[in-house]
Amino acid sequence: MEVTATSPLIVNDVHALRQARLNWMNIHNQKSSLATLPSPPTVGFVPTMGALHAGHLNLVQKAKEENDIVVVSIYINPTQFAEHEDLDVYPRDLQSDVKLLEALGVDVVYAPTESLYSSQHQTWVVPDIDGKYDEGASRPGFFRGVATVVTKLLNHVQPNVAYFGQKDAQQCAVIQDLVRDLDIGASVGEKGMRIDIVPTVRESDGLAMSSRNAYLSQEDRAIAPALYEALVAGRKQILGSETDDNMTSTVGAVRENVFEILKERGVEQIEYVTVANVRTTKPMADHEHLYHKEMEKEDNREDGHQYMIATAVKIGNTRLIDNIVC
């Protein structure tokens, strides 16, 4: 798809975003044939916190290919950071981000300059996972912050499709659930708002793209690919031998294998290794058996993936997460 670089419209509050929406609706209607009733333009939305990398740009490119209008938000959400986390030092470079988005032909950059939380704000979206397991347990309050700000942003933009990366698997599940459970965007388009989960973009050595990779020292960066190496080994263990379709493994055995590889590769601080249902991300018990892909039941995910292995570690002072689907 050929993209002509034009400067995106930058809007800094919801009032300007509303006006931009009216403008693109009017332009679209004017371009439509008078003989036909124009259908509304489709809107693709990529929410980000800036510090854009190839993973973000992959989401933007997919949105551009599939929609008439593409909106990218850049907003560092304070409510998903705990007091000891990196809110104050999180990378910020709006000018560079806009240049990257301009090259991809993004139509609107929604970059609020004021807090999305008024002084009267008192309503929160609190998913069941918050404070319970994996990211929810490691970062209490994180999913409350994510779910609330994403709810706000989806209501502001009202896209047909919003795009998220698989690297943040539990966040993806939370967002899919809130859109389903709260009927967000239920009247958008013909089938309501859709959440599109896009495969993780990786460096050549397997490290998942992340804005926080910039924190890694040279020594830590050399260790970081161990996450993907360990996850791939776990995936092979689940899928089993090509010569033995009846081979099975247990959750506990896979977790132990991933742990051992991480330790062998120099990862000393391991927060969790989980084998979970890929859609709910709810951890499975160690005694449960994992079946070869060929043996999956008909009610598994349409794309054939049933399981996810996820991990969170700290290398030096940098916290990294990753997952792989099986």
| CA distance from start to end of the chain | 31
The amino acid present at 301, given as its one-letter code, is R
Q: How far is CA 150 from the centre of its chain?
A: 11
Separation CA 314–CA 276 (nearest Å): 21
Question: Cβ contacts of residue 281 below 8 Å, gap of 6+?
Answer: 129, 134, 169, 170, 173, 274, 308, 310
Separation CA 326–CA 239 (nearest Å): 7
Vertex 164: Cα angle to 84 and 124 (nearest 5): 55
- CA neighbor of 27 nearest in space, from 15, 37, 16, 40: 40
At 193, list the tokens: 């708002």
Kindly name the residue from 15, 28, 53, 56 that is annotated as catalytic: 56
- The torsion angle over the Cα atoms of residues 232, 238, 242 and 245, rounded to 10 degrees, is -170
**Burial tier of 256 (Cβ tally within 10 Å: 0-12, 13-18, 19+):** middle
Separation CA 29–CA 32 (nearest Å): 5
- CA neighbor of 25 nearest in space, from 40, 36, 35: 40
DSSP state of 278: T
The amino acid present at 58, given as its one-letter code, is N
Whether 56 sits among the annotated catalytic residues: the reply is yes
Contact 69, 44 (CB under 8 A): yes
Residues designated as active site: 56
